[in-house]
Amino acid sequence: MKYRIEYKDIGIRDYKETWDYQTEIFDKLVNFKKTAATLAVSPENRPAGTLIFVEHPHVYTLGKSGSENNLLVDSIQLKARDASFYKIDRGGDITYHGPGQIVGYPIFDLDAVNIGLKEYIYMLEEAIIQTVAEYGLKASRLEGGTGVWLDPDVGGKARKICAIGVRASRYVTMHGFAFNVNTSLEYFNFINPCGFTDKGVTSLEKELGCRQDFEKAKEIVKKKLEEIFNLEIVN
């Protein structure tokens, strides 16, 4: 059985505008789920959710369990770099979003797609691991940390290529992943990414030595999500 998901590629959008947009979709799905429960609608007959792809202008976001000490610049320095900062309601610590990065917001009803939250995060990671493999790179997970890494077990060489941070309520998810394709990595110098002080970040562009076709990368990620979650994605 395939799970029907609506797909929205909204291009380059302000972070707060997009946060409001995904919150609206999230709230509608949660409210529908509450109504469906009272009417005894089975999970397979409920909408499975929406997948949003977006690029953000320069922005730092801090998860609810993160520390502001991991932001290493003040508001004046942020403004000088055309960057904004938000405290948000996802898990995880601080991360950066910017041009050249595929940000994915899967707003999924995990009951409808028949998985748990831990499995959901594992599957998000797997989609990016398989995407990176399409470029001839070996990526994997880091024990004790979410996201997708290159050389996670090699001292001094571990570097993150995709950050993951989610929120879930009534088993409906929001927020998601940030996959560095042609991302300007210098912006990570102004934070301790995801709270780590001893690990680096990377991108497809850095690893492969040249700028990558961004639209092609999006199509690969979408295809891997479709396969791994057994989705039918519709525009």
DSSP percent split of the chain into helix, strand, coil, nearest 5 = 35, 30, 35
CB 12 within 8 A of CB 99: yes
Active site residue 162: no
CB 30 within 8 A of CB 111: no
The dihedral of CA 84, 20, 128, 182: what is its sign? negative
Beta strands in the chain, from DSSP E residues, in sequence order: 3-12, 49-55, 59-62, 84-87, 94-97, 101-108, 140-142, 145-150, 159-169, 172-180, 200-201, 231-234
Q: Which amino acid is residue 40, in one-letter code?
A: A
Q: Residue 3 has which token pair?
A: 């799970």
Active-site annotation holder among 88, 178, 194, 201 = 194
Q: What angle do CA 182, 185, 188 make, to 5 degrees?
A: 140
Please check whether residue 232 is in contact with residue 2, taking contact to mean a CB–CB distance below 8 angstroms: yes
**Catalytic amino acids?**
194
